[in-house]
Amino acid sequence: MDIGELSLRALRQGVVAKKFSATEVVRYYISNLKKNESSIHAFITATEEGALVQARAVDDKVASGEPVGELAGVPLGIKDIINTKGVLSTGGSKILRNYIPPYRATVVERLLNQDAVVVGKNNCDEFAMGGSTENSGFFPTSNPWDVTKVPGGSSGGSAAAVAAGSCAAALGTDTGGSIRQPASFCGVVGLKPTYGRVSRYGLMAMASSLDQAGPFARTVEDAAYLLQLMAGWDKHDATSRAEPVPDYLTEFKKPIKGLRLGVPQEFFGEGLAPEVKQIVEAAIIKLESLGVKVVPVSLPTMPYALAAYYVITPAEVSANLARYDGMRFGVRQPGQNLYEVYTKSRGQGFGAEVKRRIMLGTYVLSAGYYDAYYRQALRARAAIKADFARVFEQVDVLATPTAPTTAFELGSKANDPLAMYMQDIYVVPVNIAGLPAVSIPCGFSQGLPVGLQLIGRTLGEGDILRLAQVYEQATEWHTMRPGISGQ
Ligand code: GLN
């Protein structure tokens, strides 16, 4: 038996049945992590000691016959933008290179309450702004399938760590694709829940009206299991949703026959790499053969989504990042007066992309430009939402490519923000409309993974997960592992 191939539930069951100990599981993953880090660089902080202490506590509980949680001994990576009490949490930014939070995010709290073990904090683009993890203030992460390629972003460290087998699963955040696009590039499952399904408390805010945390896993079942344990109302987040969390693993058992799968033509046009298009179309044909009814649909507002996103997001970023002033959080640069402390701390602490968005955001919100940009973007947002709502009267789930290409060369788009933003074309509409979506592996193009995006209606996680699960069961893509070069 290979510990590295066991599902999260099987890991827990093995620990409870004393087939192996939590310590053995955690040692197994930590040894992988150490081996992988020299070529992948998926972690800003590895928490080996803390992980072993947590694992021992689980083993003690098992030994004394105490009940253990649903994630007993399961080793997780956590994106560094998610606050972990007592453990460095930088958000990928130099301005927080010394920040040790005095509290933890609700999502972390909930998973720790289930006896999960944190093996480390994953690298990410600075404050989640980017699509390649090259905007990390510390170092870029490599794609385990080809170390000369990016892992995607912004949660690239989480995706790469799961793909490389450095942890059993991981958490990321998705404001405009940051879970799904790296999942697609690294050949793993990445799930962005409905806005509000999961608490945002303790996530470093990027764009508060769009941010959601979600899981990365090797299988749909593992992702559903983690979502189950993370989701639900939280008194610390007024935007969290009060609807009861369904049992996603039972939803799997519902038949998919008759489920209507919409294929929106706007997601298959210009810019989509021909091989990616072919692979995604083949996946849709596969789903049809499994019993879903494929329906061509149209979402005519899609061409406005990227522009609206790149107005709304910087606007919210410019407000949210005002808190990093060198006074209350992170690194303070000395100065002659308060103004100089602010400008030096922010000037030296933030990277180029963050500064670009703060400036853009300040501009689109400023008097005289607000109506032309921000208000227009909000109008586009309302139209996009209405467009999806209309289509979801005809179909239950939408299928699209997750990204227009496979993982690109490290460095190839780093100095071209617009080319980087174009990568987000199929993922951002989902955040704008607040919908749930999952990316699952559906093939390879020249040795690099391709992702299929399944989008659900509001709180339709159950539908997209059961469809994803049926596809996964009928294919082999999720069983493929990268042979990491450079080891
Ligand atoms: N690439 C997108 C951006 O740079 C996604 C960010 C995210 O989802 N956190 O804004």
HSE at residue 250, side-chain half, CA atoms within 13 A, is: 3
Confirm or reject: Cβ of 130 under 6 Å from ligand 1.
yes
Distance 289 CA to ligand 1 centre (A): 34
**Mean pLDDT, the chain, integer:** 97
Neighbours of 67 (CB within 10 A): 9
What pLDDT, on a 0 to 100 scale, did the predictor assign at position 424? 96
How close is the Cα of 171 to the center of ligand 1, in Å?
15
Q: Candidates 80, 82, 123, 129: which one to mutate for ligand 1, based on the most atoms within 8 Å of Cβ? A: 129
The predicted pLDDT at position 487 comes to 52
Q: Which residue bears the tokens 């980017």?
A: 130
Predicted pLDDT at 217: 98
Q: How would you classify residue 79: left for phi > 0, otherwise alpha for psi between -120 and 50, otherwise beta?
A: beta
Is there an atom of ligand 1 within 6 Å of 353 CB?
Answer: no
Cα–Cα dist 181/150, whole Å: 11
Give 459-477 as a 3 state SS string.
CCHHHHHHHHHHHHHHCCH
Q: In angstroms, rounded to a whole number, what is the distance separating the alpha carbons of residues 181 and 441?
A: 11
- Per-residue pLDDT reduced to its tens digit, 189-203: 999 999 999 999 999
Written as one letter, the residue type at 14 is G
Annotated catalytic residue 21 = no
Ligand 1 touching residue 155 (CB < 6 A): no
Strand partners, 325: none
CA of 112 to the centre of ligand 1 (A): 27
Residue 206 CA: nearest ligand 1 atom is 9
CB of 131 within 6 A of ligand 1: the answer is: yes
Distance in Å, CA 133 to ligand 1 centroid: 10
Q: Judge if the beta carbon of residue 154 lies within 6 A of ligand 1.
A: yes
- In short, whether 177's Cβ falls inside 6 Å of ligand 1 is yes
Q: What is the distance in A from the centroid of ligand 1 to the CA of 333?
A: 28
Report residue 357 as tokens.
């968005």
pLDDT of residue 155: 98
Q: Give yes or no for residue 451 CB within 6 A of ligand 1.
A: no
Q: 79, 94, 121, 149: which is the annotated catalytic residue?
A: 79
| C-alpha 457 to ligand 1 mean position (Å) | 21
pLDDT of residue 1: 74
pLDDT at residue 214, rounded to an integer: 98
Indicate the top mutation candidate among 203, 313, 418, 426 to test ligand 1's pocket, ranked by most ligand atoms within 8 A of CB. Answer: 313
pLDDT digits (tens, 9 = 90+) for 362-421: 999 999 999 999 999 999 999 999 999 999 999 999 999 999 999 999 999 999 999 999
Residue 158 among the catalytic residues: no
pLDDT at residue 158 in the model? 99
Ligand 1 centroid from CA 304, angstroms: 17
Name the CA dihedral angle for 130, 134, 137, 141, rounded to a multiple of 10 degrees.
120
Would residue 79 show up in a list of annotated catalytic residues for this protein?
Answer: yes
The distance in angstroms from the start CA to the end CA of the chain is 23
Q: How many residues does the chain have?
A: 487
By C-alpha distance, which of 454, 452, 453, 441 is closest to 482?
441
Going from the Cα of 351 to the center of ligand 1, the distance in angstroms, rounded, reads 15
Say yes or no to pLDDT of 462 above 90.
yes
Of 21, 89, 93, 154, catalytic = 154
CA distance 213 to 220: 16
The verdict on the CB of residue 400 being under 6 Å from ligand 1 is no
What pLDDT is stored for residue 70 in this prediction? 98
Q: Which CATH fold would you assign to the domain 3-262+394-479?
A: Amidase signature (AS) enzymes (3.90.1300)
Mean pLDDT, residues 434-443: 98
The predicted model gives 223-240 an average pLDDT of 98
Q: Is the peptide bond before 289 cis (omega within 30 degrees of 0)?
A: no
Average pLDDT over residues 257-284: 97
Q: How far apart are CA 188 and CA 178, in angstroms?
A: 13
Q: For position 380, what pLDDT does the model report?
A: 98
Neighbour-count burial of 466, counting CB atoms closer than 10 A to its CB (0-12 exposed, 13-18 middle, 19+ buried): buried
464: tokens are 């997209």
How many angstroms does the Cα of residue 72 sit away from the middle of ligand 1?
A: 32
Among all chains, which residue has been given the structure tokens 């510990």? 3
> What confidence score (pLDDT) does residue 36 get?
98
Whether the CB of 174 sits within 6 Å of ligand 1:
yes
pLDDT tens per residue across span 166-179: 999 999 999 999 99
3-state secondary structure the chain: CCHHHCCHHHHHHHHHCCCCCHHHHHHHHHHHHHHHHHHHCCEEEECHHHHHHHHHHHHHHHHCCCCCCCCCCCEEEEECCECECCECCCCCCHHHCCCCCCCCCHHHHHHHHCCCEEEEEECCCHHHCCCCCCCCCCCCCCECCECCECCCCCCHHHHHHHHHCCCCEEEEEECCCCCHHHHHHHCCEEEECCCCCCCCCCECCCCCCCCEEEEEECCHHHHHHHHHHHCCCCCCCCCCCCCCCCCHHHHCCCCCCCCEEEEEHHHCCCCCCHHHHHHHHHHHHHHHHCCCEEEEECCCCHHHHHHHHHHHHHHHHHHHHHHCCCCCCCCCCCCCCHHHHHHHHHHHHCCHHHHHHHHHHHHHHCCCCCHHHHHHHHHHHHHHHHHHHHHHHHCCEEEEECCCCCCCECCCCCCCHHHHHHCCCCCHHHHHCCCCEEEEEEEEECCEEEEEEEEECCCCHHHHHHHHHHHHHHCCHHHCCCCCCCC
In angstroms, the CA 173 to CA 215 distance is 8
Question: pTM for this one?
Answer: 0.98
**Nearest ligand 1 atom to alpha carbon 179:** 8
Testing ligand 1's pocket by substitution, the residue of 79, 154, 357 carrying the most ligand atoms inside 8 A of its CB is 154
236-248: pLDDT as tens digits? 999 999 999 999 9
d(CA 472, CA 218): 11
424 lines ligand 1 (CB under 6 A): yes
pLDDT at 252 over 90: no
For residues 261 and 391, is the Cβ–Cβ distance under 8 A? no
The answer to whether residue 485 scores a pLDDT higher than 80 is: no
- Whether 167 and 119 have beta carbons less than 8 Å apart is answered as yes
Which residue lies with its CA nearest to atom 4 of ligand 1? 130
Task: Pull the structure tokens for residue 321.
Answer: 């990042």
Stretch 318-330: mean pLDDT, rounded?
94
Q: What is the pLDDT of residue 164?
A: 98
**pLDDT value of position 183:** 98
User: Which pLDDT belongs to residue 373?
Assistant: 96
Catalytic residue among 21, 155, 166, 178: 178
